[in-house]
Amino acid sequence: MYKIEYSSSFITTEDYVDKYLDIPTVTGYCQNCNNYNKSWACPPFDFDQKAYLLQKKYLNLLYKKIIFDEVSVSKIYSKEELDKIVDDVINGEKYSLAMKLFEYEDLYHDSISISAGSCNLCQDEVCSKLEGNECRNSSKLRYSLEALGGIVGKTIQDLSGIELLWVEEGKLPSYFVLVSGLLSNEIINFEEL
């Protein structure tokens, strides 16, 4: 049904903040999301997102491109079928990417991973924030560029030449891209995953 391709780029966090961080605008978009104020990994936050990014010198970006085969792209799906495919594929690939990034954190001890989109560490469990409890996985809680106020579409277009594609009514795009990475004080050469 699909194959995976990886690519990467890097930018200093100062340049990232100057060129791609727009916390008020992106947080405004986040307010329309079902996860807003319902997940420990999503806004609003009680910390300074800009300072969070600037705690390290580099933002090493890792792109996981999920490329659907021609048969899958040519089909017309019901909303339910499409939602299930997107949820299954995206959630599974996000989770495996998060686990791989934790391995990189172990290799680069000063690094902090940036997740690809919303948190799914608890998988099918409701986020403990909704229950008024602390994060169940606080040692692994990571934030996405979107959650931190980054303009992700412009980021990957400028730094990698990849355009974000979206689901259209009844159809899968030819690919999805999960944008993640590592904040670090060094440039990281991501090995073949």
In a domain, 191, yes or no: no
Domain that holds residue 93: 2-184
pLDDT given for residue 189 in this prediction: 87
Omega before 44 within 30 of 0, i.e. cis: yes
In a domain, 190, yes or no: no
Average pLDDT over residues 9-17: 98
In a domain, 193, yes or no: no
Give exposure, 28-43, as e/b (b: 16+ Cβ within 10 Å): eebeeeebeeebbbbb
Q: How confident is the model at residue 158 (pLDDT cuts 50, 70, 90)?
A: very high
Percent share of the chain, pLDDT over 90: 84
Q: How confident is the model at residue 192 (pLDDT cuts 50, 70, 90)?
A: low
In a domain, 189, yes or no: no
d(CA 120, CA 96): 11
d(CA 89, CA 72): 13
Long-range CB contacts for residues 164-171, cutoff 8 Å, separation at least 24: 167/82, 167/86, 170/76, 170/77, 170/78, 170/79, 170/82, 171/73, 171/75, 171/76, 171/77, 171/82
In a domain, 23, yes or no: yes
Number of domains, the chain? 1
Residue-wise pLDDT tens digits, 82-138: 999 998 999 899 999 999 999 999 999 899 999 998 888 887 788 899 888 999 989
**Entry pTM:** 0.93
Pick the closest to residue 180 from 94, 115, 101 (CA basis). Answer: 115
pLDDT given for residue 121 in this prediction: 83
